[in-house]
Structure 1
Amino acid sequence: MDDLTYQPIKHDHQEFLRNAMESKEFKEGYDALEPKYTLIRELLAARKRSGMTQDAVASKIGTTKSAISRLEACGKHTPSITTLRKYAEAVGCDLIIKLEPKKSAEA
């Protein structure tokens, strides 16, 4: 086993997505996950702007670092508005929720 060396596999994520989006099923699934990934990006960007660590946010909210990690991963659990409001306050933001009309298929 001493002769094993690390050989990274080349991966171009943008190219992967372009190819995968040709599948209707993949595109539908990917599009369905967009709100979840938008929330993740917003949470991470807000915490980064605040300069806070997950530990610091957790301390300010009164929870654990692992709870903040789960929140920022948006896994199986869907956070409550109360939790999102506390997170927003901790990182110096206002929580704004809005409903937008669906984009028409003709656009």
Structure 2
Amino acid sequence: MDDLPYQPVKYDPKEFLRKEMENEEFRRECEALEPKYALIRELLEARKNSGMTQEAVASKIGTTKSAISRLEGGSQHSPSIATLRKYAEAVGCELVIRLEPKKKPADA
């Protein structure tokens, strides 16, 4: 086995995603997950801008680092408005929630 040459497998995640997005079912599933990932991006960006660690946010809110990690990781648990409000306050932000009209499909 020592004489087998090293042959790394090329993997381009952007190219993979581009190809997969051509699949209608895959694209629908990705689009369905967008709100969840938008929330995660917002949480991470707010904490980054605050300069705080997960431990610091947890201490300020009165919870554990692992709870903040689960919140920022998008676990199966859906956070309450109260939790999101506490998180926002801890990182120096204001929680804003809004509903936007759905966009009409381009072919409609």
The TM-score with structure 1 as length reference comes to 0.90
What does the per-residue CA deviation read over 1:18-40, in whole Å, with 9 as the maximum and x for residues that have no partner? 10001111001000000000000
Moved over 3 A (4+): 6-10
Quote the Cα distance in structure 2 between the aligned partners of 1:8 and 1:60: 46
Quote the Cα distance in structure 2 between the aligned partners of 1:7 and 1:55: 42
1:11 CA drift (Å): 2.3
What does the per-residue CA deviation read over 1:83-103, in whole Å, with 9 as the maximum and x for residues that have no partner? 000000000000000000000
Aligned length: 106
- Structure exhibiting the larger radius of gyration computed from Cα positions: 2
1:56 aligned partner: 56
What does the per-residue CA deviation read over 1:47-105, in whole Å, with 9 as the maximum and x for residues that have no partner? 00000000000000000000000000111100000000000000000000000000001
1:91 aligned partner: 91
1:12 CA drift (Å): 1.6
1:7 CA drift (Å): 7.1
Q: 1:7 to 1:81 in 2, by over 3 A?
A: farther
Q: Please give the root-mean-square deviation of Cα atoms over the aligned residues, in Å.
A: 2.1
1:106 aligned partner: 106
Report the identity percentage: 71
Q: Which consecutive unaligned segments of at least 5 residues does structure 2 have?
A: none
2:64 corresponds to which letter in structure 1? T
Q: 1:2 to 1:73 in 2, by over 3 A?
A: farther
